[in-house]
Amino acid sequence: MAGPLDLSGRVAIVTGGCRGIGRGITERLLGAGAEVVICCRNEPEALPAAAGRSAAFVAADVRELEAIERVVSFTVERHGRLDVLVNNAGGSPPAPAATASPRFSAAIVALNLLAPLNFAQRANAVMQDQAEGGVIVNIGSVSGLRPSPGTAAYGAAKAGLISLTATLAVEWAPKVRVNCVSAGLVRTGEAPLHYGDEDAVAAVGATVPLGRMAEPGDIADVCLFLASPLARYVSGENVVVHGGGERPAFLGAAAPVPPA
């Protein structure tokens, strides 16, 4: 008997599903029985796989409307439906706000906010015509909830994504549920770009209350829940997955009060 996390017969698209968090999400959905289509600008050397099946790949830059249409059309033509969209593609290299060019900032906002909106619009058009509707999961970041020095445009875009999630959940209900997963510090192949070498990554992880940075699978598990019937009454939410957050800075400077 199928369990509540069994997605057999369901079809998902994961943007940026070739590596990092997106690859972890893709593997988790495949393992749950879903058929998964991933899109990235370049095809990976090895496609994500689980449970004896691999994801299908479509080359696409999600900032381009024609590319979004190509991915959705491929998915519907191949599988006849679209049940889950995970808007994962995103990110930003470090750039000081004082010197970042307007062109750079526009590109970051386009990738992290406008692309998810445009992809969600196209997916919603398919899902609204299905008896079962569908689910959209936007991958956000704690950078949208607190200061994001070095990635100002990225943090602002992720803050916008949280607002967008809540609005779409209202507009597209009851057929389509829309939620956001705001990830904390995640250990991916790009971790050294932001945190430094292995010792630095370990030191950063030690600042998290749960004692480590997240792995892609930690984020993937939450996405699987949101895509499943277990989350049938969850919509418009921003689920923060950050291992307890960050230790308040003042605690490092405060003088402890001796016990009475």
Please compute the mean of the pLDDT values over residues 112-132 and round it to a whole number.
98
**Structure-token match 């590319």, residue found:** 67
Residue 36 has pLDDT above 70, yes or no: yes
* 250 band by pLDDT with thresholds 50, 70 and 90: confident
Q: Per the residue annotation, which of 57, 119, 154, 172 is the catalytic one? A: 154
195 catalytic per annotation: no
Structure tokens at 70: 């190509």
Q: Return mean pLDDT, the chain.
A: 95
Q: Is the pLDDT of residue 191 over 90?
A: no
Return the pLDDT at 10.
98
Place of tokens 């209900």: 173
For residue 137, pLDDT beyond 60: yes
Asked whether the predicted pLDDT for residue 251 surpasses 60, the reply is yes
Task: Give the pLDDT band of residue 135 (cuts 50, 70, 90).
Answer: very high
The amino acid present at 50, given as its one-letter code, is A
pLDDT confidence band for 60 (50 / 70 / 90): very high
Q: Give the model confidence (pLDDT) of 62-107 as tens digits.
A: 999 999 999 999 999 999 999 999 999 999 999 999 999 999 999 9
Residue 259: per-residue pLDDT? 74
Q: Quick one: pLDDT band at residue 252, thresholds 50, 70, 90?
A: confident
Model confidence pLDDT, tens digit, residues 209-235:
999 999 999 999 999 999 999 999 999
pLDDT reading at 114 higher than 70: yes
Query: What pLDDT is attached to residue 1?
Result: 52
